[in-house]
Chain A
C-alpha cells in the first residue's frame, strides 16, 4: 500500500486497529460458527422428527395381526401429516434383532412386533401424540417411537446456541464498527495539522476521507483474515475434539459447505462495513471541522 498522506499506521490511537479487528473478528467468527453449527443441528433434528416408527407389539402374535396392520396403515395414510407409511418386512426385522438375540434357527417361532416406518410431510408440524391416540382407537397397543424427551432438550439447547451465536456475532461486528468510528474521530483530531495543510493544497473532504477509508479497509481485511483463520482453527479443533470424545451421540456436529461460505464472507463484509463507517465518520467530522 502506498503511504497514506496521514500517518494513520504510525500513531498510537490507530496503529493497533488491525489487531483490535483481528480480536473482534476472531470472537465474531467463533460465535457465528457456533450459530451455524447449532443451525445445522436443528436441521438434523427437524429431519429426524420427520421419520417415526409405529410399532404394534402384539400384532405379530395376534390372529388379527394383519388386520391391525391394515387398520393402522389406513389411519396413517388418511392423515394429512403423513407422506408415506411402509410396513417393515420380516427379514429386515430379523436383521434388526439379530445383534441382541443372535442368529435364529429356521422355524424358531419368536413373536416379533410389527413395525411401520412412517415418513411425515416435511412441511407439516404434526402432533404425534394426537396421531398416536388415533392409532390406539383402532389398535390399543400401537405406539409411535419418538425420542422426544432427550432430543427436545438438545433441540432447545441448539436453538439457544444459534440465537446466542447470532446475537453475539452481530454485537461484536457492531463493536468493531464503533471502534472504527472512535479511532477515525480521534485520528482526525490528532492529525489536524496535516489535514489543514492538505486542505490548503486544495484537498476536498472526499480526498481526506479516502485516507481513513483506505486505512480501515486495509486494517479490516488484515485483521479480519487473521481473526478468521484463528477462529477456524479453534472451531475445527473443538469439533474434532467433540467428535473424537463422542460427546454427542445423536447428532453429528459440523459445518456445512454453505456455513463455510457464510463464515468466509464475515471478514470481507466486516472490512467493507468498517471502510464505509470510516468514510462516513471522516466526512461527518471534517464537515464539523470546517
Chain B
C-alpha cells in the first residue's frame, strides 16, 4: 500500500530534514508516529500525503512509484488520502458541514449522498448543533473534530492525522480514535503522529519513533510490552 525506501527530504536548498526513512505499511495498518518537536513528523506525513515529494529515495503508494505520477495521477491518489493537518486548514467562509463535505464534492459524489454521509458523520461526532457554523465561531476542539471528520468522510485508503487529539477532551479523543479504528478495520491505513502518551498507551498499535529526521525504532505500546512479558 505504502512503501518508503531510503527517503531523504530537504526544503529548497536547506539541510536534509529526513534521512534514510524506510517504512512499509499495508492495507488496514494502524501506527503511531512519535518524536520530539522538529523531529520531522510533519515532513514525513506530508510526504505520505503527497504534499511534498521526497528529495531522494523511492516512494511507492497504492502500488505505483510517485516518480511516474502525472498531474491526474497525483490528484487521483490524493483523493484516496485523508489528511488531518496540525493547523486544521479549514476554509473559513464555509460552514462546518461544507468543510466536511469537501472531499466528497471533489470526488464527484451526488449532493444527496453528501448530505446523508456528512450528517451521519457530524451526528456521530456530536457536531450537528454547529454544522451550520463557520470555523471562526467554533472552539479549537470543534475545529479539530471538523478537520478529522473531513479527513475521514470519504473513507480514504490512507488516513494521516497530524496531532489529531491535541486540543480535545478525553471523551472526544476516544470517540475520534474509535472512528479511526473502525476505518482501519474496514481497510484504511491509519498513521497518527502524536505526543499523547495516554493515547499511545491505550491503543495497542505499533509506535514508530522519529528523531532528528531518522526513524530510530519501532516499539509496541507499554501495554503490549507488558502483555508480552
The A/B interface has a contact count, at CB < 8 Å, of 49
Residues of chain B within 8 A of A194, CB atoms compared: 91
Could you tell me if A5 and B94 are in contact, using CB atoms closer than 8 angstroms? yes
Residues of chain A within 8 A of B83, CB atoms compared: 200-201
Q: Does A260 contact B (CB under 8 A)?
A: no
Could you tell me if A202 and B107 are in contact, using CB atoms closer than 8 angstroms? yes
Question: Could you say which interface size class chain B belongs to?
Answer: 20 to 34
Give Cα A207–Cα B76 distance, bound, in whole angstroms.
13
Could you tell me if A200 and B107 are in contact, using CB atoms closer than 8 angstroms? no
* Cβ proximity bits A6-19 to B, threshold 8 Å, 1 near / 0 not: 01001000000000
Q: Does B106 contact A (CB under 8 A)?
A: yes
Give the nearest-CB partner of B79 in chain A: A202
Q: Does B110 contact A (CB under 8 A)?
A: no
Residues of chain A within 8 A of B79, CB atoms compared: 201-202
Question: Could you say which interface size class chain A belongs to?
Answer: 10 to 19
Could you tell me if B106 and A200 are in contact, using CB atoms closer than 8 angstroms? no
Majority SS at the chain A contact face: loop
* Cβ proximity bits B42-86 to A, threshold 8 Å, 1 near / 0 not: 000000011100000000000000000001100111111101000
Give the nearest-CB partner of B51 in chain A: A200
Given contacts A202-B78, A203-B75, A204-B75, contact A10 B102 (CB under 8 A): no
Residues of chain A within 8 A of B102, CB atoms compared: 5, 198, 201
Min CB–CB distance A52 → chain B (angstroms): 68
Could you tell me if A201 and B91 are in contact, using CB atoms closer than 8 angstroms? no
Q: Does A3 contact B (CB under 8 A)?
A: yes
Could you tell me if B78 and A201 are in contact, using CB atoms closer than 8 angstroms? yes
Residues of A within 8 A of B (CB): 2-3, 5, 7, 10, 194, 197-205, 207, 290
Closest 4 CB pairs between A and B? A202-B79, A202-B78, A7-B93, A204-B75
